Structure 1
Amino acid sequence: MSPRTKEQNEEIRLLRVKQIMQAAAEVYLEQGITMEMRDVATKANLGYGTVYHYYKNKHALLDDMLWQAFHDARQTTEEAFGAPRPPEQQLRRYGTLLLRQWFRDLSVYILYKMIWENFQQVPGGRFQKLYDQFQTELYRPLVSAIQQLGAREPEKRANLLLGSMIGCAGLWIHHGHEEPDTDEIADSLVRSIEKEGTLTP
């Protein structure tokens, strides 16, 4: 058998990292910051040593998972708000896309949930840079779209929208239900914001 090529080794590495991060997200939802690397290895169906080969401890794993979630969420935010559409259409698209992403990639849901909880479980301002970039690149575009609607207190409306989405998604995620109708959820939540705006009678 010929040795693997550099490209094959990199492909295996990326698959292993993805496998570990997916398992870590599931374990984190079950255990929070008390999660153990051994539980991640079990969930990923990998050897304990294999997980430690990629991550020296759970904090390094959590760092990688959250930053990857941030980059994925940024793509979704850009997709929702990047095209020139009326703000109400942008907000509905944003709500639908983000909810779908949360149900299919638990690490992105965890990112939003941890931001909303102000990283209560993580000591020492470990994620200050992540928090700052979240505010600039993921939160401000949402506030801007709500401002364009003419809604009063756009930051308050943005907080209510995200908080409602996090709570709503959590009902399905934590109880293991199938993905709900994300379009319907997003439409209901955005309609409550539109009522506060000048664009809706």
Structure 2
Amino acid sequence: MTPRTKEQNEEIRLRRIREILQAAAEVYLDKGVLLEIRDVAAAAGLGYGTVYHYYNNKNDLVSDMLYQGLERAEELWLGELAPDGRADSGGMATASVGGDRSPRSEERGSLRAMERLREACSVLLHAWERDRALFLACYLGTDQYRMLQPETAARLSPVYRSAVVLPLASQVEAILVQEAARTSAQHRAEAERQAEWLLTALAACALPSIRRGTLKGEMEELIRFAAGRGFV
């Protein structure tokens, strides 16, 4: 038998890790912190020792699963929600409070801002439906990963803020700018706080649907319920 090349070995390694992390997300969704390596191995259809070859303990496994989920969340703002006339990915919104401030113009601006926020929620829900690790990274992030070990929480929390909270807060701030004349600092602080509330409500509402496998058909209703009372 011809020995495998380094490239083939690396491909196998990456495929195994993907299988393990995908299985870990499914198991964590069901068992939470009670997850064990043996559960993940069974869900992935791999041997117990194979999973241990890649992860020495379940904390490292869960940490990697969530961190990679956050990386994919960040990619949403660079891809599906790139600043191409839809949602804005670059920091806080910069909607002008000057220029045309007629009632009709302000109404159009507010509607555009709300549509961007609605689209951001929709994209996030679609991502959660197809990527359990991304969902868990957001869901646990709404409580600052308190269920995890402190060092893991300390590592993940700032990534969650930069990859999820701040991009969504930029959409919220655009609405606040349209609705009231406040200072930039006030906009940003309030936008971030309200983005955190919105994420918490959306993730909490989505959890049962994800577990049932019905999220795809319930997205619009979830957006109206969780976000509609605030902005969308």
Could you say whether these structures have the same fold, taking a TM-score greater than 0.5 normalized by the shorter chain as the test? yes
Equivalent runs, 1:129-144 vs 2, <5 Å: 129-144=155-170
- CA radius of gyration, larger in: 2
Per-residue CA shift, 1:81-106, capped at 9, x if unaligned? Answer: 53333433321221111111111111
Equivalent runs, 1:76-87 vs 2, <5 Å: 76-78=76-78, 79-80=80-81, 82-85=83-86, 86-87=112-113
2:126 is matched by which residue type in structure 1? R
CA change 1:16–1:157 in 2 (3 A) is same
Matched, 1:107 2:133: yes
**Unaligned segments of structure 1, at least 5 residues:** 196-201
Per-residue CA shift, 1:102-161, capped at 9, x if unaligned? Answer: 111111111111111222221324221321122123211211211111257433432332
TM-score, normalized by length of structure 1?
Answer: 0.86
Matched, 1:118 2:140: no
The alignment covers a number of residue pairs equal to 195
Residue range with higher mean Cα deviation, 183-192 or 172-181: 183-192
Matched, 1:35 2:35: yes
Percent of aligned pairs sharing the same letter = 36
Aligned equivalent of 2:75: 75
Contact 2:198 2:226 in 1 (8 A): yes
Aligned equivalent of 1:93: 119
Contact 2:202 2:227 in 1 (8 A): no
Per-residue CA shift, 1:139-190, capped at 9, x if unaligned? Answer: 1121121111125743343233212211221121223436224355436655
**Unaligned segments of structure 2, at least 5 residues:** 87-111, 181-189
CA change 1:168–1:38 in 2 (3 A) is same
Aligned equivalent of 1:2: 2
Contact 1:20 1:51 in 2 (8 A): yes
CA change 1:94–1:8 in 2 (3 A) is same
TM-score, normalized by length of structure 2?
Answer: 0.75
